[in-house]
Structure 1
Amino acid sequence: MGVKRVVLASAIVAGSLSLAVAAGPARAAEAARAELSDSLPAAEISENGVTARIAMVASTESPSMSAPMLEVVVDGATVLRIEGVASGWDTPQGTIEIVEINPANDTPEVVFTSFSGGAHCCTQVHVASAGKDGKWADVDVGFFDGEGGSFVDLDGDGEAEFRTYDNAFLYAFDCYACSSAPLSLFAVTGGKVVDVSRKPAFEQAHRAWLADMERRLPEATRDFSPGFFTGWIAEKAILGEGYEAWETMMKAYRGYADEGFESCPETRPDCEENEKRTLAYPDALKMFLKQQGYL
């Protein structure tokens, strides 16, 4: 086998890891939500004075393709329109959901997702939110692997957090299915997206995520899995247990036939091919975790 390549960029990749773990309370069952399909080419939902409408339109980015369009209506007036990403599919796609994300304003938020499709598919997430002045704005949360994630009030303070996983870990040291990724949490506050993954209030969510990951630990230790250990060590590091996890990894690593991994310099994670060097897994892993902010 040739030298394995580590992808250090936080690229969006195909497939999806499961978010169905006990990392916090589920979204409220009564939350207004709609998803487009062949049988539902357009939809409208309302809650607490906010109406969200979604339908397919000609894409402004790719006029030959269609994309979902969100329209937010308050008191009979359109306050915001957001165009989603085109997938190239004939099937209508896109979801809308009305969620209480920011209790500081007088209205709930509208979460709008659309799916790019293709071999390297991902979900684009937008949040429509009213500011203190009553003006509505589009908060672009970003592109995420697979189904993206979900807004959940993990600490019970009335403010929902976006729960997903760190996409940088997918394919980083192994195949997609062989990889694991630490839990990532984001708050949408004041029109900005803020990473709150390391706030102490979310320790329980991280513990639940870690417990789900560790179901693979015996197998990953027996048949050494660099993709698993990379994400597992990062999750343990968030909980202050990185050293312990590293020692466990090194004990399992001793019987691993390490062919080396290509790595960029610490200060240039998106380097050119001629800047890369081949490192043993522990050295490449340490570099990667530093670049991604886990060490």
Structure 2
Amino acid sequence: MKTTNKTIFLTALSSVILTTVNPALAQTRIDIDYKTPAFENKELTVGAVKVLVNYKPFNLEQGDSFEDKNLSYRILYNGVEQSKKEAFTLYSGVIFLEDLDKNKLPEVIVSTYSGGAHCCTNFQIYTWQKDRFIETETGYLDGYGGEFKDLNGDGKIEFLTADNAFLYQFSSYAGSFPPSQILSFNNGEFNNVTRQYSQELKSTAWQMYQAFVKAKQEGYEVNGILAGYVAQKILLGEYEDGWKFMLANCDRTSDWGLEIYQGEEVVGRYPDFPTALRAFLIEEGYLNKNGRP
């Protein structure tokens, strides 16, 4: 079996959602995997915030449907129920409490996995604002979705993920390597702070380069890696270097991603990969309308 750049990418994200738990304190985290049995009213508590969680494993042989809600949870503040939710998750999920924005009140973070090929994790975050919990979600993200981590040691937690728009755009899923996205969380909202973390960006750019070298050696797809690499170099303020590297190494015989769509209809075709990539980078906001970073 070939090892692709996708292996590197998923490995980088596989240590998802690190959080520290002191055994002397109340439980603050529940992990769900394929071995987790059914449970009811498992309790997570930090200060005034409490979560009660119920879970039933998905069982196709018993007639369970992907439309069923097998995870439910109640969120309380000072003993008063504030929110009650249901969701579906397939053999994977995490519910935990952590203060993401350093305001001395923990957020409730719930991740659920949709199942399906090359799919998908959604994070729902509940944060107490004045007199109620505000709900924010990431939307479904590739694989394990991302990682919560304090990148600069300031006590605030960033969310490390990737720009899923690059998946399948110029290569197959396995041949794609999306650029980094780093989000901060404050007042119930995510904010894109990717460009503030150059060391993290450089580390991923190096992984991309290694993935490209391996793909090139094995005669595998490279354009999906190069698309992400150019975007990553833009984030680092090194657009020209990234673009020159792409021009020198791209596969000009590949027609993946050259079609121009208007809605679901094909209305044209780009002449080559570099032209298609430039248009895509403009569309996604990496370049301005004049094709400059």
**Residue aligned with 1:81, SS:** strand
TM-score when normalising by structure 2: 0.78
> Are 1:279 and 2:271 counterparts?
yes
Query: Residue 167 of structure 1 corresponds to which residue in structure 2?
Result: 164
2:12 and 2:214 map into 1 onto residues whose CA distance is 21
> Are 1:72 and 2:71 counterparts?
no
1:213 and 1:290 map into 2 onto residues whose CA distance is 21
Query: Residue 51 of structure 2 corresponds to which residue in structure 1?
Result: 52
How far did residue 203 of structure 1 move?
Answer: 1.5
Q: Which runs of 5+ in 1 are unaligned?
A: 1-13
Query: Residue 7 of structure 1 corresponds to which residue in structure 2?
Result: none
1:140 and 1:22 map into 2 onto residues whose CA distance is 20
1:280 and 1:116 map into 2 onto residues whose CA distance is 35
> Which amino acid in structure 1 is aligned with residue 240 of structure 2?
Y
Q: Which runs of 5+ in 2 are unaligned?
A: 1-5, 23-27, 57-64, 288-293
> Are 1:30 and 2:25 counterparts?
no
Greater relative contact order, per chain length (Cα 8 Å cut-off, separation 6+): 1
- Write out aligned runs for 1:1-295 (5 A): 17-18=9-10, 20=12, 27-30=18-21, 32-37=28-33, 38-42=35-39, 43-56=42-55, 65-84=68-87, 86-87=88-89, 93-104=92-103, 106-119=104-117, 121-131=119-129, 133-198=130-195, 200=196, 202-221=197-216, 223=219, 225-253=222-250, 256-259=252-255, 261-264=257-260, 271-295=263-287
Residues 118 and 204 (structure 1), Cα distance of their counterparts in 2 relative to 1, 3 Å cut: same
Identity over the aligned pairs, expressed in percent? 27
How far did residue 16 of structure 1 move?
Answer: 9.9
Q: 2:252, 2:273 within 8 Å by CA — same for their partners in 1?
A: no
1:261 and 1:165 map into 2 onto residues whose CA distance is 19
1:169 and 1:215 map into 2 onto residues whose CA distance is 18
Count matched residues: 264
How far did residue 293 of structure 1 move?
Answer: 1.3
Q: 2:93, 2:111 within 8 Å by CA — same for their partners in 1?
A: yes
**Residue aligned with 1:249, SS:** helix
Q: 2:252, 2:272 within 8 Å by CA — same for their partners in 1?
A: no
How far did residue 270 of structure 1 move?
Answer: 5.6
2:256 and 2:36 map into 1 onto residues whose CA distance is 51
Q: Once the two structures are superposed, what CA deviation does each residue of 1:176-201 show, in whole Å capped at 9, x if it has no partner?
A: 11111111112222222222222x2x
TM-score when normalising by structure 1: 0.78
Residues 113 and 15 (structure 1), Cα distance of their counterparts in 2 relative to 1, 3 Å cut: farther
Deviates more, 1:230-239 or 1:32-41: 32-41
